[in-house]
Chain A
Amino acid sequence: MQDQLSALLAKAAPELAALITRPEFEAAKARYVGPNGELTALMKQMGAVPKDQRPAMGKLINETKTRLQSLLDAALAAIETAELQAQLGPAVDATLPSPDAGPGTYHPLTLVREEMCRILRKVGFTVADGPEVETEYYCFDALNTPADHPARDEKDTFYFPAASRFANVSKKTSEEKYLLRTHTSSVQIRTMLNGAPPIRIVSPGRVYRRDTSDATHSANFHQLECLYVDKNVTVRDLKALLDYIFASLLGQDTKTRFRPHYFGYTEPSFEVDLSAKHLPKVKKEWIEIGGCGMVDPTVFEGVGYDPEVWSGYAFGMGLERLAMLLYGIDDIRYFYQNDLRFLKQFA
Chain B
Amino acid sequence: MKISLNWLKDYVALDASVEEISRAITFLGFEVEGVAQTGAPKLDHVVVGEILTRAKHPNADKLSVCTVDVGPAGGVKTIVCGAHNCDAGHRVLVALPGAVLPGNFQIKQSKIRGQASDGMMCSPDEIGLGSDHSGLLILSGQPALGAAMNAVLPPGDTVFDIEITPNRPDCQSHLGIARELAAWFKLPLVYPQEKFRGDVTDAITRTDLLSAVRVDSSEDCPLYTAHLITGIKIGPSPAWMQTRLQAVGLRPINNVVDVGNYVMLETGQPLHAFDARKLGGNQIIVRHAADGEKITTLDDKERTLTSRMLVIADAQKPVVIAGIMGGQNSGVSADTTDLVLECAIFKRQSTRWTSRRLGLSSDSSYRYERGVDPHSALEAAYRAVDLIIETAGGQVVGPVYKVGGDVPWQREVVVTHGFICEKLGFEIPEAEMETAFESLELNVTHKEPTDLRGTAWTVSIPSWRDDLDRPIDLVEEVLRLFGTEKIPAAVVTAPGLVGDDDPVVLFNRRVTDYLVGHDFHECVNYTLRPAQELATWVSATAAQELALANPFVDDQSHLRPTLIMGLLDSLKLNQSRGVAASLLCETGRVFIEHNGQNLECAAVAFIITESGADRPWLKRAPADFYSVKHHVTALATAAGVDLARHSLAPIIGPFFGWQEGHSAAAGEMAHGWTARFGLLNLAMVKQLGVAGQVYAGIFAILPEQLNATSARRRYADFSLFPAALRDLALVVDEPTPATDVQRALVKIARVAVGPAFALESIKVFDVYRGKGLPEGKKSLAFGLVFRAAERTLTDEEVNVVFQKVQDEIVKTSGWQVRK
A, B bound: yes
B165 is an interface residue with CB less than 8 A from chain A: yes
> Is A240's CB under 8 angstroms from B505's CB?
no
Task: Decide: A132 near B27, CB < 8 A? Known: A159-B549, A339-B573.
Answer: no
CA A244 – CA B497 in complex, angstroms?
18
A106 is an interface residue with CB less than 8 A from chain B: yes
One of B423, B473, B490 near A239 (C-beta < 8 A): B490
B141 is an interface residue with CB less than 8 A from chain A: no
B301 is an interface residue with CB less than 8 A from chain A: no
Task: Decide: A158 near B472, CB < 8 A? Known: A234-B424, A241-B492, A270-B484.
Answer: no
- B478: nearest chain-A partner, CB-CB: A268
CA A167 – CA B585 in complex, angstroms?
27
B547 is an interface residue with CB less than 8 A from chain A: yes
Q: Which residues of A contact B374 (CB under 8 A)?
A: none
Task: Decide: A210 near B582, CB < 8 A? Known: A129-B504, A153-B356.
Answer: no
- A267: nearest chain-B partner, CB-CB: B472
B599 is an interface residue with CB less than 8 A from chain A: yes
B523 is an interface residue with CB less than 8 A from chain A: yes
> Is A258's CB under 8 angstroms from B497's CB?
no
CA A159 – CA B552 in complex, angstroms?
11
> Is A166's CB under 8 angstroms from B490's CB?
no
Q: Which of A144-170 contact B (CB under 8 A)?
A: 148, 150, 153-155, 158-161, 164-169
One of B493, B589, B618 near A132 (C-beta < 8 A): B589
B756 is an interface residue with CB less than 8 A from chain A: no
> Is A338's CB under 8 angstroms from B27's CB?
no
Query: 0/1 per residue, B452-496, Cβ < 8 Å to A?
Result: 000000000000000000101101100110001101111111111
Q: Which residues of A contact B480 (CB under 8 A)?
A: 260, 268
One of A150, A166, A232, A262 near B29 (C-beta < 8 A): A262
Stretch at the interface among A27-35, A71-79, A119-127: A119-127
> Is A107's CB under 8 angstroms from B522's CB?
yes
A275 to chain B, nearest CB (A): 11
CA A294 – CA B684 in complex, angstroms?
52
Q: Which residues of A contact B520 (CB under 8 A)?
A: 104
B551 is an interface residue with CB less than 8 A from chain A: yes
Q: Which residues of B contact A164 (CB under 8 A)?
A: 545, 549, 598
A248 to chain B, nearest CB (A): 10
CA A304 – CA B27 in complex, angstroms?
34
CA A110 – CA B604 in complex, angstroms?
14
One of B424, B499, B548, B581 near A158 (C-beta < 8 A): B548
- Max count, chain A CB within 10 A of own CB: residue among B492, B495, B589, B617: B492
CA A194 – CA B574 in complex, angstroms?
44
Stretch at the interface among A18-26, A59-67, A93-101: A93-101
CA A104 – CA B423 in complex, angstroms?
48
One of B470, B494, B521, B620 near A340 (C-beta < 8 A): B521
Q: Which residues of A contact B476 (CB under 8 A)?
A: 260, 267-269
> Is B704's CB under 8 angstroms from A168's CB?
yes
Task: Decide: A100 near B496, CB < 8 A? Known: A167-B597, A237-B490.
Answer: no
Q: Which residues of A contact B472 (CB under 8 A)?
A: 267-268, 294, 296-297
Query: 0/1 per residue, A206-239, Cβ < 8 Å to B?
Result: 1010111000000110000000001010111101
A344 is an interface residue with CB less than 8 A from chain B: yes
> Is A168's CB under 8 angstroms from B424's CB?
no
B792 is an interface residue with CB less than 8 A from chain A: no
Query: 0/1 per residue, B533-562, Cβ < 8 Å to A?
Result: 000000000000101111111001001000
- B528: nearest chain-A partner, CB-CB: A219
- A270: nearest chain-B partner, CB-CB: B484
B577 is an interface residue with CB less than 8 A from chain A: yes
- Say which size band chain A's interface belongs to: 35 or more
Stretch at the interface among B231-239, B283-291, B510-518: B510-518
Q: Which residues of A contact B523 (CB under 8 A)?
A: 107, 338, 343
> Is B487's CB under 8 angstroms from A236's CB?
yes
A261 is an interface residue with CB less than 8 A from chain B: yes
B153 is an interface residue with CB less than 8 A from chain A: no
A337 is an interface residue with CB less than 8 A from chain B: yes
CA A104 – CA B521 in complex, angstroms?
5
Q: Which residues of A contact B491 (CB under 8 A)?
A: 240, 244
B579 is an interface residue with CB less than 8 A from chain A: yes
> Is A129's CB under 8 angstroms from B502's CB?
yes
Task: Decide: A160 near B521, CB < 8 A? Known: A124-B495, A258-B487, A340-B581.
Answer: no
A206 to chain B, nearest CB (A): 7
Q: Which residues of B contact A257 (CB under 8 A)?
A: 484-485
B349 is an interface residue with CB less than 8 A from chain A: yes
Q: Which of B571-618 contact A (CB under 8 A)?
A: 573-574, 577, 579-585, 588-589, 591, 594-600, 613, 616-618
> Is A104's CB under 8 angstroms from B28's CB?
no
Q: Which residues of B contact A337 (CB under 8 A)?
A: 570, 573
CA A67 – CA B643 in complex, angstroms?
63
Task: Decide: A244 near B580, CB < 8 A? Known: A104-B515, A260-B480.
Answer: no
Q: Which residues of A contact B553 (CB under 8 A)?
A: 219
Q: Which residues of A contact B528 (CB under 8 A)?
A: 158, 208, 219-220
B168 is an interface residue with CB less than 8 A from chain A: yes
B260 to chain A, nearest CB (A): 26
Q: Which residues of B contact A340 (CB under 8 A)?
A: 521, 574, 579-581
CA A233 – CA B110 in complex, angstroms?
66
> Is B617's CB under 8 angstroms from A240's CB?
no
Q: Which residues of A contact B518 (CB under 8 A)?
A: 104
CA A7 – CA B110 in complex, angstroms?
111
- B477: nearest chain-A partner, CB-CB: A268
> Is B504's CB under 8 angstroms from A124's CB?
no
CA A335 – CA B559 in complex, angstroms?
19
> Is B596's CB under 8 angstroms from A101's CB?
no
9 closest A-B pairs (Cβ-Cβ)? Answer: A234-B425, A236-B425, A102-B519, A260-B29, A99-B616, A268-B476, A262-B165, A338-B570, A104-B516
**A-B contacts, 16 listed (Cβ < 8 Å):** A109-B524, A114-B509, A124-B494, A126-B499, A127-B505, A154-B550, A158-B548, A166-B600, A180-B527, A239-B489, A258-B484, A259-B29, A261-B165, A262-B168, A340-B581, A341-B579
Given A236-B424, A257-B484, A297-B472, 10 additional A-B pairs, CB 8 A: A103-B516, A107-B524, A129-B504, A210-B550, A240-B489, A261-B29, A268-B472, A335-B524, A339-B577, A343-B523
